[in-house]
Amino acid sequence: MFEGFREETIDVGEARIFVRHGGEGPPVLLVHGHPRTSATWHRVAPLLVARGFSVVCPDLRGYGRSRGPAPAPDHSAHCKRAVAGDLVAVMGALGHRQFRLAGHDRGGAVALRLALDHPAAVERAALLDCLPISEHLSRITPEFATAWYHWFFFAQPDTPERVVNADPVSWYGGDPDRMGHENHAEFRAATGNPEVVRAMLEDYRAGLTVDRRHEEVDRAAGVRLRCPTLVLWSLGDDLGDLYGDPLEIWRDWADDVRGHGIDSGHHVAEDAPDALAADLADFFER
C-alpha cells in the first residue's frame, strides 16, 4: 500500500499522530472514519497523487497508530475540536498552511469542525457520507435509532468496551478481499487493541455531548463554511433514505454547496475509489 509515500509520527503536543504522505502539488488532507485507519485511502491516495496533488493521510487521535491523552470525564480529550487541532498541526509540520480537505463518516465531523475553526487553512472541503452530528440528533426517528443504535450504545460507560473487546473480529467484521488485504490487516490490528477501541468509543461519547454543543453554538452564532463545499453520499448506504437530499441540510451550514450520490457502499474509498478520486480531483482542481 501507499507506494512512494512516507510514514512518520508527528508530535503535536497532546497527541502523537501517525501519518502517511506523498506526491507533489497542492496539498490534500484525507480524514478517515470509524472504525478505519488512514489505510482506508490506499486506493484513492495514489490516484490523487497521479492527478498532481500532495496527499496526507493521518490516523485520527486514538485510532490506528495515533495516540492521544487519556479519556476525560467530559470526553473533551476526544472531541472533534481537539482532533481538528491535531490535523492542523500535522499539516503545518509538513509545511502546508492551506490545503484541500476531505473527511468521511466520523472524519466528516472532524472535517466540518476543522473548516469552521480554521477557515483560513481550508481552501475547499469535501464531506463524505456525513451530516453535522447535531443535525442527526435533531432528527431522531425510530428508523435512525434502530439503524444507528451504536451511537447510543457506545455512549454508555464501560459496557461497550467489554462487549467489543470480547470479540472485535465479529463486532467490526471486514472483508479482506473487498478492503484490500494490507488495509484489512491494519484495520484488524487496530480494532484488536483495547486502547484503540476505548478511544474510538470516546469519539462517539464526545459526539453526543461536547461536539453537539460546539455545533449548536456555531449554528446559533451563524458560523458557516465559507469555502466551496462538496457533499458526496453512498447510494448503497442509508443517508438518503433517512433524510432525503443531504444537500438541503448542508445548505444551512455552507455558502457554496454542490454534490451527488455515488454508487457505493458506506466505505466509499474502498468500494468505489476510481469514482471518488475523480470527483475529489475535479473539485480540488478548481
Q: Whole-angstrom Cα distance, residue 152 to residue 71?
A: 18
Element (H, E) at 19: strand 16-22
List the one residue out of 228, 222, 227 whose CA is nearest residue 259: 228
Region of 14 (left: φ > 0; alpha: ψ -120 to 50; beta: rest) is: alpha
Q: Which residues pair with 29 in a beta bridge?
A: 56, 101
275 contact partners, CB below 8 Å, separation of at least 6: 262, 263, 264
238: annotated active-site residue:
no
181: annotated active-site residue:
no
Q: Among residues 105, 203, 271, 279, which one is catalytic?
A: 105
DSSP one-letter code for 67: B
Q: Among residues 118, 150, 184, 266, which one is catalytic?
A: 266
List the one residue out of 81, 115, 98, 118 whose CA is nearest residue 210: 81
Count of C-beta atoms within a 10 Å radius of residue 209: 15
Active-site residues: which are they?
105, 266
